[in-house]
């Protein structure tokens, strides 16, 4: 991840600066630019990582995301995926898939102002729990990021 020089660094008051962090405050980040994807992920891996039935993600260019406080703890959750979290409080923060290594996904709900961005689609609906209903009218995909 870039240590400096993203859009927030140039202009922290910009509309395209998205600060966020974990529950305890030990890890803080800033993302900037326009998110490439905004989704709900229903996959089993996200479910376990977050202890939640689905996880909303915001995908940013990796060069536009930097850690501004603390250290992101990381672990490999599958062959080509590294997840980042706060080692002190456990909040899930990042998802890096080496198949699209120019991107990094941030847990949308860890943004300081998560209402500024809204998911636009549901991914991995094939893993969706039966008691989780979807009634928002957004597109649903049985598996991962749809081809562009
Ligand atoms: Zn924390
Ligand atoms: Zn997932």
Q: State the distance from the centre of ligand 2 to the C-alpha of 13, rounded, in angstroms.
A: 31
Q: Which of 107, 21, 103 is nearest to 70 (CA)?
A: 21
* The pLDDT of residue 126: 97
Q: What does the radius of gyration of the chain's CA atoms come to, in whole angstroms? A: 15
Condensed to tens digits (0 to 9), the pLDDT of residues 93-108 reads 999 999 999 999 999 9
134 Cα–ligand 2 center, Å: 16
Backbone torsions φ then ψ of 78, nearest 5 degrees: -155, 180
The whole-number pLDDT of residue 3 equals: 44
Distance from residue 33's CA to the centre of ligand 2 (Å): 23
Q: What fold characterizes domain 7-127?
A: 2.170.150
Task: State how far the Cα of 140 lies from the Cα of 148, in Å rounded to an integer.
Answer: 15
Q: What is the dihedral of CA 119, 84, 89, 64, to 10 degrees?
A: -60
Buried b (16+ CB within 10 A) or exposed e, 40-68: bbbbebbbebbeeebbbbbbbbbebbbbe
pLDDT band at 5 (very low <50, low <70, confident <90, very high): low
pLDDT, one tens digit per residue, over 116-144 is 999 999 999 999 999 999 999 999 999 98
Q: How far, in Å, CA of 130 to CA of 127, rounded?
A: 9
Confidence of residue 145 (pLDDT cuts 50, 70, 90): confident
């Amino acid at each position: 991840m870039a240590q400096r020089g993203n859009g927030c660094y140039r202009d922290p008051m910009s509309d395209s600066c998205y600060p966020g962090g974990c529950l305890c405050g030990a890890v803080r980040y800033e993302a900037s630019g326009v998110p490439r994807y905004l989704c709900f992920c229903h996959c089993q891996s996200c479910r376990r990582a977050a202890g939640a039935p689905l996880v909303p993600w915001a995908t940013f260019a990796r060069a536009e995301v930097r850690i501004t406080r603390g250290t992101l703890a990381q672990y490999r959750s599958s062959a080509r995926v590294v997840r980042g979290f706060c080692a002190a409080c456990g909040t899930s923060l990042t998802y890096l898939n080496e198949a699209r290594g120019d991107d990094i996904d941030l847990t949308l709900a860890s943004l300081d102002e998560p209402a500024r961005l809204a998911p636009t689609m549901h991914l991995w609906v094939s893993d969706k729990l039966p008691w989780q209903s979807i009634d928002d009218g957004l597109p649903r995909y049985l598996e991962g990021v749809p081809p562009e």
